[in-house]
Structure 1
Amino acid sequence: MSDQPGQSAHPAVECDLPDGRSVMGIHPLETVTLWGEIAGDSPYARASAGLGPDDVILDIGAHIGLASMRFAEQAPGARILSFEPAPVTYACLADNVTRHVPTGTAFPQAVGGEAGTAELTFHPFNSSTSTLHADPEDDLRNFKAFVDNTEVPGDARELMLSAFGEKQTVTVDVTTVTAVVKEHGIERIGLLKIDVERGELEVLRGIDTGLWPRIQRVLLEVHDIDGRLGRIVAELAGLGFEVTVSQAPVFVGGSVFSLLATRP
């Protein structure tokens, strides 16, 4: 195990998206697969529809910036702040924001329940699952759901499984949504997107009660472990949001759900 994912044997590479654009990513297959989940009539499109220059979008767990790119398409002129702690993926994010998100800014930070530092587990062969909250059992469950639902051949499945277990650790900086709002003088959040691989409860705890009325929409990936999905739905409903839950076909049988909360 290495403590420097920036020195991974899998450096960033140029990847071509189906729409013809070029982005920096860790692996072309991972990049194209992730774009397929984000493009089209996805929760990302629905969450950002109708937003524009007067809105701020916080992309928490931005990975290489594909969601930020989608938001920039859907909400031209919106101010987009994108947060990603892993050094390799942050380098891709910064490059992709510069290329494709003209009103965006990238930050090399995790977002959690309190400011400080934390240990990030980085997966070089599946970088989108890198996390502050390691859970190999949940990772394996979702990996198996993915390969089953995408009908990966048996030999390729074994190769992917052997690579899936590789990991590295690195110490990263952590901030909170409340701190971000104060630091950047944000009056209103049009969309708060959170995709932090089991760290979603911590991100929510880092939002002061008085800040919630200034948040208009929340797009949240939830790992439904120990009833977490139901608790978060109830919490957001109690804050005045209308909540819808969906699950991408590739994750049927896994723990990953998408939650979209909007103001009536």
Structure 2
Amino acid sequence: MTGRSPAAGAGAYELPNGRGITCVSPAEAKVLWAEATADGLYAKAATALRPGDTVLDVGANIGIVSLMFGWAVPGLRVVAVEPAPATFACLESNLRRHLPESVSVCSAVSDRAGHRTFTYYPKSTGNSGLFADQRADDENTRIFLRNSGIPEEYIGEMVSGLHRGIDMTVRTLTVSDLIRQHALHRIDLLKIDVERAEHLVLAGVEPDHWPLIGHVVAEVHDEKGRLAEIRHLLEGRGFTVGISQDPKLAGTDLYELAARRTAGARPADEGVGRTL
């Protein structure tokens, strides 16, 4: 997720489309919806989905992107994964209410099953993660706000305390664990938004499971050459990779990555059954 403005209390929120959701912060939910529905990474991914497709939403937060996908393309199978108890409770409630056939899983996704320390930001839940970095998150948020036209005199106050975290231990699963546990015979879209743990999510895909994945969209923090590393990994697995950056994030290390199987090949074309 990108930089957020300070949250203003938990509760219910009515989305611009008139549907009600449960959220940790109505202010943050408003921003999440704007990001999900803007002409960007997720809206473009939604245009490639069709009824019956399977979406694995890793780093689902309260489920805004899962909901957008489900409403845009009725009949999807959605498995949404989120580790933080407060955001997971909202995710579970929202999917049960609006996408009752979907599945919510309380876990982080990493390169191995087990447990890890997770830093939760109560005032900026979308920036929480296994590798939270308060200084870097503050700076990215300052740049995002500045690029959004917020006057400089207000930015310091808006960022102050935004990334004060709470450490907790969360369960971890791999993508391959999720494939087995939920009998995912294909993943038409793997969406990843996990704040610096993108490489671990992809490392948790076992070789036999790569042919099941047709499309990957991810927010990537380009630290220590990670963007090039992930691009190389996906290209080696048969994907054509595109990279872009939201103008509001210019000057940050945040990039959007979209990867599709070369020449438009989908998992079903590789001999993987479509019936779930």
The one-letter code matched in structure 1 to 2:192 is I
**What's the CA shift for 1:155?**
4.7
Query: 1: CA distance between counterparts of 2:24 and 2:154?
Result: 19
Alignment correspondent of 1:68: 66
Alignment correspondent of 1:183: 181
Number of equivalences: 256
Query: 2: CA distance between counterparts of 1:11 and 1:86?
Result: 17
Alignment correspondent of 1:203: 201
**1:91 and 2:50 matched:** no
Q: TM-score, normalised by structure 2?
A: 0.88
Alignment correspondent of 1:4: none
Q: TM-score, normalised by structure 1?
A: 0.91
The one-letter code matched in structure 1 to 2:160 is S
Alignment correspondent of 1:142: 140
**What's the CA shift for 1:121?**
0.3
- Whether the 8 Å contact between 1:141 and 1:255 is mirrored in structure 2 is no
- Whether the 8 Å contact between 1:48 and 1:191 is mirrored in structure 2 is no
The one-letter code matched in structure 1 to 2:249 is F
The one-letter code matched in structure 2 to 1:208 is E
Structure 1 residues without counterparts, runs of 5 or longer: 1-8
Query: 2: CA distance between counterparts of 1:34 and 1:10?
Result: 14
Match of 1:227 among 217, 225, 233: 225
CA offset digits 1:126-184 (Å, max 9, x no partner): 11000011223321231111111122234532222212132111111110000111111
- Cα 1:73–1:42 change in 2 (3 A) is farther
More moved, 124-133 vs 35-44: 35-44
Structure 2 residues without counterparts, runs of 5 or longer: 1-6, 264-276
The residue correspondences of 1:3-18 to structure 2 (distance < 5 A) are 12-18=10-16
The one-letter code matched in structure 2 to 1:113 is D
Query: 2: CA distance between counterparts of 1:209 and 1:200?
Result: 17
Query: 2: CA distance between counterparts of 1:141 and 1:255?
Result: 10
The residue correspondences of 1:1-264 to structure 2 (distance < 5 A) are 12-263=10-261, 264=263
RMSD over equivalenced CA pairs, Å: 1.7
**What's the CA shift for 1:10?**
7.5
SS at match of 1:172: strand
- Whether the 8 Å contact between 2:124 and 2:163 is mirrored in structure 1 is no
